[in-house]
Every structure is written in structure tokens, then in C-alpha cells.
Amino acid sequence: MKLYHSPASPYVRKVCVLLHELGRVQDVTLDTIATTAFDTSDVLIASNPLGRIPALVRDDGTTLYDSRVICAYVDDLFGGTFYPQGARRWETLTLEATGDGIMDSAVSMSYEMRLRPETERSQDWIEAQWAKVARALKVLDARWMSHLNGTLDIGHVSVGCALAYIDFRHGARNWRDGNDSLAAWFATFESRASMQATLPPAA
């Protein structure tokens, strides 16, 4: 299988972290591709009409896209346990959606700051996106620590990659301030071999 990949993407990192945790990195070839919201790769569009990464080309030539779909697929394919059954499943999926939502807002901020000309940037938009991130972090710190301190699942991976992306692109925001429990959890999670093996390039 082939994964269209950019080392700076938190969504791609989420898939790669899961592959490391499953011990199946060798089963997926990374195809690094240059693409942005304003300049989408034609190669990528041929596999994913949305022009977004990650996109996983399976051995039969069909493509899966969106990190949630790809992660669920590889976990099922390789017999993982990152998507538990029963009542915990819905907690796990909600936690994954929270991490992915943080990524969505943080990436949107990055696009506004890095891709738009300075005269066209909207500081109001940037701050509105950060407000979403900040609210989600507060809820994680207040309500989700028992889950995060429990058995590893896809929710942990999503939240961990989201927090790492904030450090990568928005470190000056100091998200740890006032989120002591979440910060302590992340200090342990980011030291995992899977996270260290998937570090993005220097910002």
C-alpha cells in the first residue's frame, strides 16, 4: 500500500503513529507529495478528488482518504484494538473527533498565517479558530483525563498529534498554561517511540 504523505501534516502523522503502534510501518510505502490548499498536486487529485492528504492507495488500486477512515481501515486490517467495542467505543470516537477538530482549527490558522499575503490575512479568523482550540483543550483537561490515562486507543493518538501540531506551528500560544493535567499527559505521550519516529521537520 502507498500513503500520500507530508511530514508536516498532523493528519498524516496520526496515520503514521498508528502504523508504528501497530508494528506495521513496513507494510505501507510513504509517497511524500508537495501540495497546499492553493496549489493542489495533480497526482493527489487523481487519487482523492478533494486533493487532501492523507490518502491511502490500497493494493487493488482503490484509494481511501480522510485520516479517520484510513486509521479505522488499517486498525481493522492489521487486527488492532485502537477502536474498542462497547460503551467505550463512543467515548473513543468522540475523543478522536475532538483531536481532529483541534487539528482542523490549528491548520486553518496556519493556512491563514502562512499561505495568504499579509495584507489579506484576517486576525479575527485566526483568533476565532484559536478560541475553538482553547475551548477544546479546557474540556480535555477537565473531563477527559480518565480516558486519556486509560488503555491506548485512537483518541489518544488524535489528541497527541493535535497537541504536537500546536507546538509545531503555534508554540507561542502556550497551550499548557492552565491545562496542567493535559500537559502532564502529553509530556509522557510525546516520548513514545511512535511519536519520536514521526517528528515533523523544523518549523
pTM, two decimals, is 0.94
Q: Are residues 135 and 179 in the same domain?
A: yes
Q: Are residues 65 and 103 in the same domain?
A: no
CB count within 10 Å of CB 73 equals 15
H or E segment and range at residue 163: helix 154-170
What pLDDT shows up at residue 203? 57
Query: Among 77, 96, 115, which residue terminates a domain?
Result: 77
Q: Are residues 112 and 24 in the same domain?
A: no
CATH classification at residue 148: 1.20.1050.10
d(C-alpha 106, C-alpha 41), whole Å: 22
**43-53 residue pLDDT tens:** 888 888 888 89
Per the domain annotation, does 22 fall within a domain? yes
Per the domain annotation, does 55 fall within a domain? yes
CATH classification at residue 15: 3.40.30.10
**Domain tally for the chain?**
2
Q: Are residues 8 and 70 in the same domain?
A: yes
Q: Do the beta carbons of residue 71 and residue 18 sit within 8 Å?
A: yes
Q: Which residues of the chain have pLDDT under 70?
A: 203
d(C-alpha 106, C-alpha 131), whole Å: 10
Q: Do the beta carbons of residue 45 and residue 176 sit within 8 Å?
A: no
Q: Are residues 62 and 123 in the same domain?
A: no
Which domain does 141 fall in, by range? Answer: 87-192
Per the domain annotation, does 203 fall within a domain? no
Per the domain annotation, does 6 fall within a domain? yes
Q: Are residues 121 and 166 in the same domain?
A: yes
Per the domain annotation, does 40 fall within a domain? yes
Query: Among 35, 53, 77, which residue terminates a domain?
Result: 77
Distances (CA, A) of 150 to 29, 80, 82, 96, 129: 31, 17, 12, 14, 29
Q: Are residues 137 and 188 in the same domain?
A: yes
d(C-alpha 169, C-alpha 119), whole Å: 20
Q: Do the beta carbons of residue 200 and residue 13 sit within 8 Å?
A: yes
d(C-alpha 19, C-alpha 14), whole Å: 9
